[in-house]
Chain A
Amino acid sequence: MSMLYDEGQQAIATESRRVLDARMDKGRLLALLEQVGGIDQPFWDTAVEQGWTALALPEEHGGLGLGLTELGLVAQAAGAATSGAPFLTVGYGAAQALLAAGHTGDLAALAGGEKLATVAFAEGSAPLPAKSVVSFADGKLNGTKPAVIGGLKADLAVVLASTNGTPVLVAADLTDVTRTAVPSFDNSRLYADLVFNGTPAVQLAEGAAALGLARDVLARMAVVTAHEQVGGAEALLNIARDYALTRKAFGQPIGAFQSIKHRIAELYGLIEVARANCIHAAASEGTEEFLIAAADARLSATEAYDTASRDCVQIHGGIGVTWDQGLHLHMRRARSLGIEQGNLLFWEDLLVDQLAGEAA
């Protein structure tokens, strides 16, 4: 796949940004921070209406047959808008796992937005635990997956569990699962502990294949998230630039002070490096390079978004730390996205293992 966006891809980028610009509302997003269990319904309705849930699924399962590049562009727009629901990424990840395992029954409902799916891999500091605390035996799951993204509302989940110490990847209907909300600094992510108690589940893969599939799905979600991070970082760069041009101190715009303008120029560098990595990763979907490219994208995008939120707040002075100004929406999102889909430490290790030829 080419690293240059074609006309259709450019149209997806502009259109998704246009729609979200028109429909997003900062007040709504701020209110969501102070409640547990709510998502920004107008955002999710837009996502379904625009077909974003179907974008990267095959046509025979009700999808649009596009790929990571297109979904990445939508995620970038969603990131710029600090969109208030996590399912674009985790729904895509779950669908990819189901698809890879040939377990396609729910895909059409996921594509159409009638069902919500998530991925339950991480356990605390282990994004991809080889020996999950959730056990799978006799077709049933037992144990707790902590802080699952979208866990409060998802209808089904792809779960990384273990059978007698061997990793297994399973799909479970979440209807009868006990969900304990996890109040967080970014509540529209719908984090919840999922307590499995004899929950029926279907095995998708086992052993090394299960870990391999989970890793591939995680890498794909990381690439989507990296795009979202780039979108957020770029929005912050623009906000910082505009503020630096208008706010005056000591008789000149603050953007004329080099400690401000150089900081913004450095952000530009971080963002462009991350963007280029994202484009490369999405374009290398399905190739041998993909895992390394995904790690590069993820590392640089997390650095860009965290740095942008730190610096953009700083450039605003006092107004930057107020609730209503809302920069903390990005600051919170930078960190929640940085933790979801594998933290920096995880991706650093994974990348070095690959480079040093010590990959599993």
Chain B
Amino acid sequence: MSELETYRQTARAFLNAMAPKYARPARQGNTVEQDLALGREYMAARYDAGFAGINWSPEFGGQGLSNLHKIAFDAEEMRYGMPVGFFGISLGMPVPMMIHYGQDREFVKERVTKALRGEEIWCQLFSEPSGGSDLAALRTKVEPDGNGWRMNGQKVWTSWAQYADYGVIVTRSDPTVAKHKGLTYFWVDMKAAGVEVRPIKLAGGDSHVNEVFFDDVRLEDNQRMGEVGGGFGLALHTLMIERYIATDSAGFGPHLDLFVKLAKETQLNGRPAIEDGRIRSAIARNHAMRAGLDSITQRAMLMMQAGMQPGPEGSLQKLVAVRSRQKLSELALDLQGTAALPFDQHAYVKEDWGTSWLNAPTGRIAGGSDEVLLNTIAEKVLGLPQDYRPDKGIPFNQIPA
């Protein structure tokens, strides 16, 4: 058995032991606060068992293992529905950025450990009302204030900000240069004076994203990450860190097996729907597509194991999978007719077609919209030209609003 396979089995043993207390069935009916408390407990147990910061350096409480080990663990953990959602962004991007760029190394170490144990949560404050895809259009500004900075402005769509202790943030430090040149990156204390968080209720009924307002918030210069004016580069770095994540060809919705089961159980024109050509076609096409994504993932894993760099086709996962999840969920509802009308907003999106359908649009927007991902593939992978950008090269304060 390969070393990685052995690792997978150890992980499974740990997860099996944790499951009765923390997995999806145990969470049924929890309020968000109860779930968060349970999540913190699980994170601490996971830390103690040596499954936290798997591919991070031991210097920062990590395990010093490979990206493959991390992906293997994540893929196993995903099957259980553990209460880890609150910590995904925190450990996915902001904390690794602190490890890279945090100035006060002792402070960083302390934060990393607490974040890995689920005691502290970090959020990512990038998007603003003035632009999400167009990150460099942001307006939250910092001005020199003695030996530090003063920050004013607003962020939006900040996941888990209401539970966050800290955040990483991109701000405008110089409005007189081209828009992506005048940005500076900081970490911010979410409990500091002048920070106000207001949850936003999403279409699916939950409120995990927020508006965050900054009113004369004081930042010390040692909260700066990277150079003054280097914020855009750090923002790009932040978005690159998440390359090594477990993928899900079901687009984080229900597995195709559940659709096949539904089609066998549902009658259509007096016959099982699985005998209906339209349903069969949908199943077959989805299977072919998902199998392709799974093979892309498997090959990427093999390449990493062989010390090679996986190809750019990995960037297709979210684009292809979430779109298809959205359509398949629609079809699953359509297939059931009025039987699809009873709805439980708390049903698990990986098991329920209703919540999968209603929450699918967020997956096509968050973390890069479909259109932006297509642009990235076209430009970065295929070498096609950039879009026409009328604001290119113009000082930020001269771009017409």
Contacts and interface: CB of A to CB of B under 8 A. Distances in A.
A3 B298 CA distance: 8
A265 interface: yes
Contact of B378 (A262, A297, A351): A262
A264 B378 contact: yes
B44 interface: no
A299 B282 CA distance: 12
A279 B263 CA distance: 30
Nearest to A271: B313
A349 interface: yes
A331 to B, nearest CB: 21
Nearest to A4: B302
Q: How extensive is the interface on chain B, given as a class?
A: 35 or more
Contacts of A253: 385
A245 B374 CA distance: 17
Contact of B295 (A3, A264, A268): A3
Contacts of B319: 269
A256 interface: yes
A264 B382 contact: yes
A276 B299 contact: yes
Contact of A245 (B293, B377, B383): B383
B257 to A, nearest CB: 8
A352 B274 contact: yes
Contacts of B375: 258, 261-262, 265
Nearest to A255: B384
A302 to B, nearest CB: 10
Interface string B285-296: 101110111011
Interface in B359-401: 371, 374-375, 377-379, 381-388
A280 interface: yes
Given A258-B371, A300-B289, A356-B260, A348 B384 contact: no
Given A347-B284, A351-B284, A277 B382 contact: no
B303 A276 contact: no
Contacts of A356: 260, 263-264, 274
B385 A255 contact: yes
Interface in B262-293: 263-264, 274, 280-281, 283-285, 287-289, 291-293
Contact of A244 (B260, B287, B384): B384
11 contacts: A241-B384, A256-B384, A258-B371, A258-B374, A265-B374, A268-B381, A268-B382, A299-B284, A348-B284, A355-B256, A356-B260
